[in-house]
């Protein structure tokens, strides 16, 4: 049984990411469990869970690019910029043309400055923004530079004169708010907008194709790890094979000679065990985290 590794979970709607962590703690019979990037309760799809030593890989998972399938509704604004919040304004959107929608979303492709939703977990003066909003405060969150590398329109649906629903497919940098895309499109077109559906389809190279539902994990418990440590590291990082002597040095936190690999990479022992995540700087390959027991 693999006790250290990652789990690609297909999160159901209605659960927080912390709810999923709590469930995995019970199934895996360990307290050392964390997640690699929050999904709102409304959202479904890929949530990466780290178990035991693999929780140390989550720092890198959180920074990975992400992909989503989502639905924007034009004609209604909500306090949360998604369907979980109360509607704050309604403006008939039936007159908005397909061309205007395409042009509006095109403005959000590439590197942009995006203002996160006010009802978010971002801390403002030490307190979560959503708590300040619930207390009646007018919260202003500074814009952040994000990259939206792909934003494709899959379908535009007009069921009545009041709302327009737009299915989109998005690939973006970490820190991008998909509900902010909906809000900003609605603002640009002067009809308001919010997100009615959100499904995360990938985190880095980990996709829904390898995801497991909580029901499937229940059936295999306590053997719930789907990507053992070495496999997870091979999937997420560039790789370097160490000699037996290098493995001994690295396991004790010592530096190796550089080999010219850019960015953090995984170093493996001759036995196939992942030893550490390493980066090259100042003429040495130094461990950022040591994963193998000394």
Catalytic positions: 40
User: E strands, the chain, where?
Assistant: 5-11, 33-35, 44-51, 66-74, 76-78, 87-90, 110-114, 123-124, 127-128, 144-157, 164-172, 193-203, 206-207, 227-228, 238-241, 265-268, 274-281, 284-290
Kindly report the three-state secondary structure assignment for every residue of 219-253: HHCCCCCCEEHHHHHHHHCEEEECCHHHHHHHHCC
Phi, psi (5° rounding) for residue 185?
A: -65, -45
Q: How far apart are CA 20 and CA 34, in angstroms?
A: 9
- Mark out the alpha helices in 1-91 (DSSP H runs): 17-28, 58-62
């Amino acid at each position: 049984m693999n006790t250290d590794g990652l789990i690609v979970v297909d999160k159901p709607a209605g659960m927080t990411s912390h709810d999923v962590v709590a469930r995995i703690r019970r199934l895996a019979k360990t307290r050392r469990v964390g997640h690699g990037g929050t999904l709102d309760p409304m959202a479904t799809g890929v949530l990466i869970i780290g178990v035991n030593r693999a929780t140390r890989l989550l720092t890198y998972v959180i920074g990975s690019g992400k992909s989503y399938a989502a639905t924007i509704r034009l004609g209604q604004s909500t306090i949360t910029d998604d369907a979980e919040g109360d509607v704050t304004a309604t403006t008939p959107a039936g007159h908005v043309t397909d061309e205007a929608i395409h042009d509006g979303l095109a403005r959000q492709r590439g590197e942009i400055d995006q203002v996160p939703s006010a009802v978010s977990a971002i801390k403002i003066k030490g307190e979560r923004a959503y708590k300040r909003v619930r207390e009646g405060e007018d919260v202003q969150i500074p814009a952040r530079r994000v990259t939206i590398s792909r934003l494709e329109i899959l379908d535009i649906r007009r069921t009545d004169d009041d709302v327009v629903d737009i299915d989109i497919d998005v690939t973006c940098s970490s820190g991008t708010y998909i509900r902010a895309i909906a809000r900003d499109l609605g603002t640009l077109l002067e009809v308001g907008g919010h997100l009615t559906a959100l499904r995360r389809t990938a985190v880095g190279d980990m996709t829904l194709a390898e995801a497991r539902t909580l029901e499937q994990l229940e059936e295999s418990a306590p053997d719930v790890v789907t990507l053992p440590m070495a496999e997870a590291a091979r999937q997420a990082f560039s790789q370097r094979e160490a000699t037996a002597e290098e493995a001994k040095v690295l396991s004790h936190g010592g530096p190796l000679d550089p080999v010219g690999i850019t960015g953090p990479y995984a170093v493996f022992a001759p036995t196939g065990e992942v030893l550490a995540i390493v980066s090259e700087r100042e003429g040495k390959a130094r461990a950022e985290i040591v994963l193998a027991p000394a």
